[in-house]
Amino acid sequence: MTDTLRLQEEVRNIQWHHQIDLGNGIVTPGADNSPKKLERLAFPASLQGKTVLDIGAWDGFFSFEAERRGAQRVLATDSFVWEGLSGTPGKRGFDLAKKTLNSKVDEMFIDVFDLSPEKVGVFDVVLFLGVLYHLKHPLLALEKVFSVTKEMVILETVVDMLSYSRPALAFYEGNELANDSTNWFGPNTAAVVGMLKTVGYRKVLVVAGARSLPFRVAKAAYYKYRSGYPFLSTARIDRLMIHAWK
């Protein structure tokens, strides 16, 4: 068996979240459209000489991309997914991608609420992508993120309550959102911006906001058909991308 065939077999035996180009025409079949999300995030074209912390790294797409864009050091952290809790696939995807890409990304098992300068250090750029709405204490989590940020955070999250101009958060009881009981809160844009300012970020920029209602309805119909997600709760939400600076 050739190395390429062996790699294809290893990829097939892993449940992926990210779509990572491993070379030789092999792209991991993740449910997340990672390259598209990278565009919406307005990810810096160059991270030359920067230190980067990726919180909730999962399969590591954004960690490896930061390294590819010249970051001096990247630390990928996770706990929930890497420990395989609640049916999550564990760390096999990250390990295989890191090995295949010959990456030098550092890694650490650590919970968001355990982050501190003493434990992980302080980083020029912090990635906090797809994590906030999974946390029972979102404001406390943002305080922890702020404590390890030297320059800026790039944040991505589910947003809800989009018709409210005042800061508001939707609470998800049970598996109301996407049939996933690990989803807890859906803040609206004003709440995310307000929380970031409250914990200390001085400048907050929305780089990709919630999209139109027709778009969200079409998306909800697609996910209802493909994955059985509840239509109304899916139509209510979208994804928000923000850059914030200390």
> What's the CATH code of the domain at 54?
3.40.50.150
Dihedral, CA of residue 13, residue 228, residue 90 and residue 171, to nearest 10: 170
d(CA 156, CA 112): 15
Count of the separate structural domains present in the chain: 1
CB-count burial class (<10 Å; 0-12, 13-18, 19+) for 81: buried
| Residue span of the structural domain in which 89 resides | 31-245
- For residue 13, is it within any domain? no
What are the strands, taking DSSP E only, across the chain?
A: 21-23, 26-27, 51-55, 73-78, 106-109, 123-129, 149-159, 169-171, 185-187, 203-208, 238-245
Residue 174 covered by a domain? yes
Backbone angles phi, psi at 86, to 5 degrees: 50, 40
**What is the rounded CA–CA span in Å between residue 153 and residue 123?**
9
Look up the pTM and report it.
0.96
Pairwise CA distance, residues 115 & 100, whole Å: 29
| Position 101 in a domain | yes
In a domain? residue 40 = yes
Residue 128 within any structural domain of the chain: yes
Pair type for strands 106-109 and 73-78:
parallel
Q: What is the pLDDT along the chain (246 residues), one digit of tens a residue?
A: 688 999 999 999 999 999 999 999 999 999 999 999 999 999 999 999 999 999 999 999 999 999 999 999 999 999 999 998 777 889 999 999 999 999 999 999 999 999 999 999 999 999 999 999 999 999 999 999 999 999 999 999 999 999 999 999 999 999 988 889 999 999 999 999 999 999 999 999 999 999 999 999 999 999 898 888 999 889 999 999 999 999
Identify whether 121 is part of a domain: yes
The β-bridge partners of 203 are: 245
* 5 assigned to some structural domain: no
Residue 14 maps to a domain: no
